[in-house]
Amino acid sequence: MEAKGARRAIFLDRDGTLNEDRGYVHRPEDWGWLPGVPEALARFRAAGWRLVVVSNQSGIARGYFSADDLARLERWADAELRPLNAAPDAWYHCPHLPEITGPCLCRKPMPGLIFQACEDLGIEPGASWMLGDRERDVAAGLAAGCRAGLLRADPDDAEARATRAAFPGTPVWPGLAAACDAILRKN
């Protein structure tokens, strides 16, 4: 149950959740929205949910692109979503890769990005959801105190089976549109 006055959010992984995971996407021309994503974001927003992207972006540590490149991509995505009132409230990313930069608390499955967003934006984790396409997304969400769901086109693939084994009861939806339908029916 959401506490009175609590701010709830949908925390979202990026690659494989919002856009096609084409490997180290950092330019608009390489971005491809997954089906139904802009509309699902607009529906969440219309229902009063904040939208926050939390993403591992090790391409920065690897030297494939810069933080400025990533910021330009995020501004582009915001501009694409703004006409639908679906732009995220904030984008958070972990630029680290442990074997290059050493360990950190922000790389999922650690919950640091979610904790930071909750602090910055006044979000109540217990009233929120973390949605992503990997077990690490679910782990980060649950560690932060959120509810979590996995987005997999094939609900019986190896990632889905491993996630359900590690976190029994985790819902698995075929994409963000289906997760939106289910979450909005319950909330």
Residues annotated as catalytic are 13, 15
> Which one-letter amino acid corresponds to residue 63?
G
The pair of structure tokens assigned to 92 is: 């958070």
Helix axes 67-81, 37-46, angle to 10 degrees: 70
d(CA 93, CA 67): 9
Say how far apart CA 29 and CA 38 lie, in whole Å: 17
The structure tokens listed for 5 are: 């006055």
Interhelix angle 176-186/37-46, rounded to 10 degrees, is 20
CB 161 within 8 A of CB 141: no
